[in-house]
Amino acid sequence: MTTEPAATAPLVQFETRHIMPIPEDERNGSVRSLFSIWVGINMLPLTVVTGAIATGSFGLSIWWSIVAILTGNVIGAFGSALHASQGPQLGVPQMLQARAQFGFYGGSLLAFIALLMFLGFFASILVVAKDSLLAVFPELNPRVVIIVFAVVGIAIAAYGYDLVRKAMAVLSVIIAVVVIIAMVMLWFEPSVTGANPDAGFTVAGFFGMLAIGVVWQLAYAPYVSDYSRYLPKDTGVRPAFWATYLGLVLSSVFVMILGVLLGSVDPSNPLGAMASVLGPIGTVGLLIFALSAAMINAAELYSGVMCALTGINSTFSRVVVTSRTRVLTTLVCGAIATAAALAGESDFVTMFQNFVTILLYVLIPWSAINLMDYFVIRKGHYAIEELFQRDGGRYGRWNVIGLSTYAIGLVVQIPFMVTPMYTGPLAEPLGFIDVAWIVGFVVSGAVYLVLTRTLGTRGSVDHGETAVVGDR
């Protein structure tokens, strides 16, 4: 008597669920893998360049730069980790869940804003990865390098979640070793620690870098649940929160400090300083940074595609979102972001600083509304199946309270804004310290709470009714 050999599961699984809820029997994520994802996602040359802004653009000393970076990241990651804790309970992508606060069609507006953010980061990472490689091989064609790196990221994102998480788990370890070696060597290099003796402390510089740390972390909020949704539902809130929080803070602060040290040597080209100061070790580090960035960048595109599919699902009633739809959307979004990278590579630093500043203002109201709705008003109880109904189900097509609150959250920030393009009338009396994001967060959360308590919550779910995760 012979028996058929058991089928062997593929080493990497092609994704078939896209924006649909992840059934319990397909949730193959773990707290450890979630931690690896958020450690790996910050092991990028873009993180180095961001850290260099402290000693370069803001003129802070090394120690004040570290304090500002640490404070900003610790604050910002708290919000993102709270969003991540929603994933195991709901099982859907982060921005699709916005339909519960903004309505079936209103949620697509927020998903579109998040899509622009993801494509912007994908393009930014391509540019900085290109700079890393060209610091080692200056004879290469920069446009060709961007295109090749884009193809790598697009291919990984098209395959889906499982390949993204496994690639980042391996890469995070390799890059962490490189960063540790580089930082130890730089700390004992007099040309680094004594490069800018006039640097010190400025209030505007300190809070400016603190705000960048906050927005760096909050930029992850629109897609943290894209990955935590693969955790089993009984994982609970705390493990998902801490895996995300610690992964984000440890890696971001770690790599940004490397940027601080390099920025003190050459503010205009911190990646070039890595090669000139560290010699062969720096050269190897740049090469690893460049190649790994091309792969890690897939996470930005993957979550951007989740947002795009949310919009497609809302806008085109006849389009059925399938794996083919996801792959085609990945190709289109990847091509758009690559074109943006090719168009903006020459003036990257200025464009990137403007990008992250505006990003903070538009993300803050959404984050406050989402957290208030999830943790205070509905206490994690949602009817997931009704998020996919074209009439919005109990959540409606347009949620006036959510959309109005979001608009108010944007408007109240305007007087306090500090950007190269516009400075609010209340910025100067405050010493040009950017507190707009604080005002926006507090006002958005408070207004949403008051309006829902006064006018009633659309689509409230009884606490006895748990979130529905179906196999659609």
Sign of the torsion angle spanned by Cα atoms 158, 159, 162, 168? negative
Cβ atoms of 157 and 164 within 8 Å: the answer is yes
What is the DSSP track for 130-183? HHHHHHH-TTS-HHHHHHHHHHHHHHHHHH-HHHHHHHHHHHHHHHHHHHHHHH
pLDDT per position as a tens digit, 26-63: 888 889 888 988 888 888 888 888 899 888 878 888 88
Spatial CA neighbour of 44 closest among 112, 101, 129: 129
Residue 411 falls inside a structural domain: no
Average pLDDT over residues 351-375: 82
- The pLDDT score that the predictor gives to residue 326 is 93
How far is it, in rounded angstroms, from Cα 105 to Cα 392? 8
Residue 309 falls inside a structural domain: yes
Residue 41 falls inside a structural domain: yes
- The pLDDT score that the predictor gives to residue 318 is 81
Q: Among 90-94, 161-165, 395-399, 403-407, where is mean pLDDT lowest?
A: 161-165
Here the tokens at position 77 are 């990651």
What does R_g of the chain's alpha carbons equal in angstroms? Answer: 22
Task: Name the band, by pLDDT with cuts 50, 70 and 90, for residue 1.
Answer: very low
Residue 331 falls inside a structural domain: yes
How far is it, in rounded angstroms, from Cα 398 to Cα 393? 11
Residue 440 falls inside a structural domain: no
pLDDT for 465 beyond 80: no
Number of domains in the chain: 1
pLDDT per position as a tens digit, 269-303: 888 888 888 888 888 888 888 888 888 888 889 98
How far is it, in rounded angstroms, from Cα 249 to Cα 77? 7
Residue 390 falls inside a structural domain: no
Task: Name the band, by pLDDT with cuts 50, 70 and 90, for residue 467.
Answer: very low
Q: What is the mean pLDDT of the chain?
A: 85
Helices then strands, each counted (H, E), the chain:
19, 0
pLDDT per position as a tens digit, 390-443: 888 889 999 999 999 999 999 999 999 887 778 889 888 887 777 888 899 999
pLDDT per position as a tens digit, 198-210: 667 788 889 889 9
Looking up residue 60, the CATH number of its domain turns out to be: 1.10.4160.10
What domain range is 252 assigned to? 24-361
Task: Work out the number of other CB atoms within 10 angstroms of the CB of residue 173.
Answer: 13
Residue 372 DSSP symbol = I
Sign of the torsion angle spanned by Cα atoms 94, 99, 100, 106? positive
Residue 436 falls inside a structural domain: no
Q: How far is CA 350 from CA 49, 105, 211, 414, in A?
A: 12, 34, 17, 21
Residue 427 falls inside a structural domain: no
What is the DSSP track for 447-470? HHHHHHHHH--TT---TTSPPP--
3-state secondary structure of 430: coil
The pTM score is 0.84
**Cβ contacts of 105 within 8 Å, gap of 6 or more:** 314, 392, 397, 398
What is the DSSP track for 5-49? PPPPPPSSPPP--TTS---GGG----HHHHHHHHHHTT-SHHHHH
- The pLDDT score that the predictor gives to residue 10 is 67
Cβ atoms of 206 and 63 within 8 Å: the answer is no
